[in-house]
Amino acid sequence: MSKIAFIFLFIGSLSIYACTNTPGTGNVTTDNNDGQVVSLTTATFQKLVWDYKASPKSWVFSGDEPCIIDFYADWCRPCKMVAPILAELSKEYKGKIRVYKVNTDENRELAGLFNINSIPVVMFVPKSGKPQMSVGALQKNAYVEMIRNILLVNVEPAK
């Protein structure tokens, strides 16, 4: 009897987990800048941000707009707190910056490339100059300040 109860409990738990919308993965597309967060793989990172294999010794940004890159994992609770903030910022700064996400569990090469040992890490990549990183979950106003001071130098969000 206890084995049967355990099986039903296990299946029920899986069903609930599978049917919930995890904030860390919601609102993700694969291309364009329609105000959505774009999920990157190693290949798309090389195309849209930096082809580190073509220029391994120097940072050469390949994007057309400054960007934010959220290095996260689905199991990371602080990452789940940051995801909706970045989704809001992606919409608010539509047409001015792009927001990308990189799953560190699925893209270990990228995590290793930037020596990411703790998540979340949010990278701010200006069109010219070196990227800057922020480690840990921050409040929205801190991200807005970094966008203004690193990426857009006091440009206001779209209304």
The residues annotated as belonging to the active site are 76, 79
What are the tokens at 41?
């793989």
The C-alpha angle with vertex 74 and arms to 60 and 78, in degrees rounded to 5, equals 85
Are 74 and 105 in contact, with CB atoms under 8 Å apart? yes
Count of Cβ atoms closer than 10 Å to residue 20 Cβ: 8
Instruction: Say how far apart CA 76 and CA 108 lie, in whole Å.
Output: 15
Q: DSSP string covering 4-22, please?
A: HHHHHHHHHHHHHHHHS--
Only one residue has tokens 């049967």, namely 4
Residue 143: half-sphere exposure toward Cβ, Cα within 13 Å? 27
